Structure 1
Amino acid sequence: MLVAAARLGVAPADCLAVEDAPAGLRPAGVAGMRRIGLTTAHPAALLEADLLVADLSGLCVKQERAGLMVDIAPDAGCPEVRTAMSGIAPSRL
């Protein structure tokens, strides 16, 4: 994860990892990246993420002047996890 961020010239804290497996989410967290977990391959309880969505259809990435904006669809899945997280806006990261 750190190598990928370095190759892109982006600080890990400015990265967003979208993964469907604990093996991908864990190193992203250790690297200091924000994480969206997809519950397509593993149950939500096994995914250490800042936000969980059912699948990629719950995400919309848009180019804005300040960079990329990730919108989360209101019905993107796992609402019980979303409401339990503090400091994370459910609609935007």
Structure 2
Amino acid sequence: MSQNEERIAYADNPVMAIAFAGFLRWVASEPGALDAFEHATGIRPFWAERRTPLEQMIDKATDRERQQIDAFVDWAVANIWGDNPWGKEAHG
């Protein structure tokens, strides 16, 4: 995502914010969706594997956690939410 692109934000619509958060929680817990995300991006989400406390600290310190979350949200929006606000082709 370039610096000029914006992420979806529902700050002015609390109902949509709740719906979107629920959608992301659901997708993040679906094994099929996690497999499709991994297949499309080559990223195995950190929350889909057991991580030691040290590995978790390293992920946070190196920003791996945030990078994976951003990639997952972009993928989920483009492929499952059904909205492609950035005009990109869907992955996976």
TM bucket by the smaller chain? under 0.3
Q: Indicate the structure with greater helix content.
A: 2
Q: Indicate the structure with greater strand content.
A: 1
Scaled by the length of structure 2, the TM-score of the pair is: 0.22
In our comparison, the structure showing a higher alpha carbon Rg is: 2
Of structures 1 and 2, the one with the larger relative CO (CA 8 A, separation 6+) is 2
